[in-house]
Structure 1
Amino acid sequence: MLNKLKPKSEFSKNVLTLMTGTTIAQAIPIAISPILTRLYTPEDFGVFALFISLVSIFGSIANGRYEFAIMLPKKDEDAINIFALGFIINVALSLFLLLMVIVFHDLFISLLNNKEISLWLYLVPFSVFLIGCFNLLNYYNNRLKNYKDLAKANVYKSVVTAVVQLSIGFIKQSTIGLISGQIISQIFANTKLLRNIIKDKILLLKISKVKMIAVANKYKDFPKFNVPHAVMNTLSSNMPVLIINFFFGSTSTGFFAIANKVLLLPVGLFTSSFSQIFLQKITYNRNNRIDQEKFINKVVFKLLGYSFFPFFIAFIFLPNIFGIIFGKNWIIAGEYAQILIPMLYLTFTGSILSNIIIVYNEQKKAFKIEIINTIVKLFSLLFGGILEDLKLGLFLYSLSGVLITTYRIIWYKSIIREKNEI
């Protein structure tokens, strides 16, 4: 009986391993959220959200997007040189950002229209560096199939974040607790994943300037096309925080931040785990000429089908759920979350399938689509900001996300049909 319940394929086992760790990792922030909303004010969450948005935008390109190429080479020697190349780019970008913050600090504060972020702006470059390191370590451990360690790293990160944010929150109610938890937890997670790489001393000795230049040229499409695409993508996803902060202030930004966090945590439970295994699986299928189309169709059907009911239930009851769990003051955050549900339903599937772009080198068209996506969402939010109607802006933002993600899913499937090799 127990044998029947065990995963039958390696793919399923790997998904289960990562999902187990990610489930625990995502459950911790969800569990402490009702406490955090009583320890920290919406303004605190607003400043924290602005900080995270800035880190996310630059962190997404910290390695020149070379981390995505780590999975592709057949030789580990090439992969470790890609890792080293990405690390050097990460250090250079982080130092450049620090210089920019020091020189143009007051200008940035004026552009962001938020004086509370002033002190924390100096920590953005360091946080970007940590995110860049984590992305490199994450993909290299994925290549090594160290799924247990990846799961543990996610758990460590959540536990440390929770402990720091709660501890400081009880002592001093300010943004320092939220930001400190984020930074310290990233250090712990990076340390865990780094051990699997530094223990292979022989492989590390194969890192050289000549080989790094060689892999940089071989995979030059990643910084050339994927970096602009990543900037557009992260700008698009972080745009609400930036614009809401500018037009409506830290309090409204805090309400949106909690709404977005509560929605993305359970969604991230599946996407982060499934996406890594999906990338590994379709890369394997391509290299071994296994039928991709049948696999992709099955994945799309299951993702859209299984996720419909929970998203539908959430859409109906979210405002009441927020009021009960986080307190009556946070009902408006539930209303914001309700508006975003349709977009997230499709994004859940689309974000996993987006790995097809990497495997089949379709960054050029993906970048063009992302430009359109960013522009449409930008004007949607600006329209709401100009009319001083935040809910209208979020509705238009969500609607544009539904339409564009639908097109993307159709396009991803067309790529497989055209390039499927058996």
Structure 2
Amino acid sequence: MAVGSGLGRLISLLAIPFATRIYTPEGFGVLAVFTSLVTILAPIVSLRYVLTLPLPRQTGTALNLLLLSFGLILAGTAFIMLALAIFSEPMLNFFSMAAIVPWWWLIGIGVLVTATYELMTFWATRRRAYGIIAKTNIIQNSAGALATIGLGVVGLNPLGLLLGAIIAKGGGLFWLLRDFKTDLFRIPQAITANRLATAAGFYRDFPFYRVPSQFLMVFSQQAPLLFAAAVYGAELTGQLSLALMALAIPVTLVGEAMGKALYAEAAAIGKSGSDRIYQMTKDTQKKLFLVSIPSGLVLFFFGEQIFYLVFGQEWEASGKFASLLSIYIVFHFTSAPLVQLLNIMANQSTFLRINVVRVLSILALFSFVFFTKIAAARFIFLYSILMAFFYIYVSVLVMHILKKKSDQVRADCL
């Protein structure tokens, strides 16, 4: 799965130098706001029941959760489309994004496609079908890159960026549905109102804790771009988005892929195997830390030169931003696989606490920046320092919880 995710992200990475020579920083700023809105909304519409799919021992229970999740996705998307039909123009104008007002409905399409793809990847994770996930990652990233470049060449700006982003987020959905059609055809036999209600009630902590937690987490991740769009304008937002996009590649390339694999293995072990989960997680952390250090140092010292050569003269400022942001990338990289393990430990309140801390910290920083009117580069530097401390806090906290569970299991065995 890590290889497939890596190849998919590598394809996206190889396409960026072509896209930066076709589209302007303003166009990337429009894409940044569009992607931020989809990224914030898509995880919420399922009420995070998708996370429960790998957990039940019985397939029938999992199929009930699959149907429940998809029904929530459809209902949530319909609500979002209605809200956008009424409020899209003032909202997008606030973020200096008048260019995508005519395409507001693409936000709803993006939410539906992204949420449904996530749903099916968690079903594939339950089946340990990592090869299928890898294949769809490669397909959709390739198709998204080709669509972005092709539509840009014929002059569809910024529409080409928006359509390319949607394809890259869910273009592999068809193959997931095809490969698991046998499971999907079993849904009518497995579904009963009682089993559906029982499954929803048993995992009720997910909508109660994970929905607000997920919103806070994703909002805090996307907030720098939304804040930059509202305060510094579309061009600077485009520069910042390219820097964040480049930095996100190693995290998603290996960190999140390893996180999904770790989550699946830990879910199979269960809470009774807390000692094994702790050791497995500790080993994963060490490997990720060693992998992340070289790339972080290279970006810190040579970010501007690299971006100038790779993406073009117009994107030198993005390289400067990447150098500043590289301060926290090592700690983000190592903490990426950890948070999902809280699902297995039934520790949803801790996940909520983590994200409350993050959002409050970021809002405090944004308030300071807004009132002091500091330059964009200084704002990005302060944000990078803040995130470095945050990810250290997350790693220490989650490892402490896992160690505590491990010690408890050992004590019970004595």
TM-score by length of 2: 0.94
Displacement after TM superposition at 1:304 (Å): 1.5
CA distance in 2, matches of 1:228, 1:351: 19
Residue 112 to residue 209, structure 1, CA distance change in 2 (3 Å): farther
The corresponding residue for 2:337 is 352
Displacement after TM superposition at 1:93 (Å): 0.7
Residue 168 to residue 133, structure 1, CA distance change in 2 (3 Å): same
Residue 288 to residue 388, structure 1, CA distance change in 2 (3 Å): closer
CA distance in 1, matches of 2:118, 2:265: 19
The corresponding residue for 1:65 is 48
Specify the SS of the correspondent of 2:257: helix
The corresponding residue for 2:177 is 194
- Whether the aligned pair in 1 keeps the contact of 2:256 and 2:336 (CA below 8 Å) is no
CA distance in 2, matches of 1:319, 1:204: 56
What is the aligned residue count?
Answer: 405
Displacement after TM superposition at 1:156 (Å): 0.6
The corresponding residue for 1:415 is 401
1:336-358 CA-to-partner distances (Å, cap 9, x unmatched) read 11111121211111111112211
Displacement after TM superposition at 1:121 (Å): 2.0
CA distance in 2, matches of 1:337, 1:50: 19
Displacement after TM superposition at 1:288 (Å): 5.6
Identity of aligned residues (%): 24
Structure 2: tracts of 5 or more residues without a match: none
Residue 418 to residue 90, structure 1, CA distance change in 2 (3 Å): same
- Whether the aligned pair in 2 keeps the contact of 1:354 and 1:412 (CA below 8 Å) is yes
CA distance in 1, matches of 2:156, 2:302: 30
Equivalent residue for 1:265, pick from 243, 249, 268: 249
Displacement after TM superposition at 1:301 (Å): 2.0
State whether structure 2 residue 401 is matched by structure 1 residue 403. no
Amino acid at match of 1:371: V
CA distance in 2, matches of 1:86, 1:378: 31
- Whether the aligned pair in 2 keeps the contact of 1:255 and 1:333 (CA below 8 Å) is yes
Displacement after TM superposition at 1:203 (Å): 4.8
State whether structure 2 residue 328 is matched by structure 1 residue 343. yes
- Whether the aligned pair in 2 keeps the contact of 1:243 and 1:385 (CA below 8 Å) is no
Displacement after TM superposition at 1:383 (Å): 2.8
The corresponding residue for 1:218 is 202
Specify the SS of the correspondent of 2:81: helix
State whether structure 2 residue 305 is matched by structure 1 residue 326. no
**What is the RMSD computed on CA atoms of the aligned residues?**
1.6
Specify the SS of the correspondent of 1:72: coil
Structure 1 runs, 4 residues or longer, greater than 6 Å off: none
The corresponding residue for 1:170 is 153
Displacement after TM superposition at 1:38 (Å): 0.6
Displacement after TM superposition at 1:163 (Å): 1.3
Amino acid at match of 1:296: T
Amino acid at match of 1:322: F
Displacement after TM superposition at 1:327 (Å): 1.2
Displacement after TM superposition at 1:296 (Å): 2.4
Aligned ranges for residues 283-294 of structure 1 at < 5 Å? 283-286=267-270, 289=273, 291-294=276-279
The corresponding residue for 1:8 is none
1:87-113 CA-to-partner distances (Å, cap 9, x unmatched) read 111111100011111122333234434
Equivalent residue for 2:229, pick from 228, 241, 245: 245
CA distance in 2, matches of 1:287, 1:411: 18
Displacement after TM superposition at 1:28 (Å): 1.1
Residue 79 to residue 371, structure 1, CA distance change in 2 (3 Å): same
The corresponding residue for 1:101 is 84
CA distance in 1, matches of 2:369, 2:398: 31
1:244-280 CA-to-partner distances (Å, cap 9, x unmatched) read 0001111001001111111111321102320111101
Specify the SS of the correspondent of 1:118: helix
CA distance in 1, matches of 2:285, 2:5: 21
CA distance in 1, matches of 2:171, 2:330: 32
The corresponding residue for 2:116 is 133
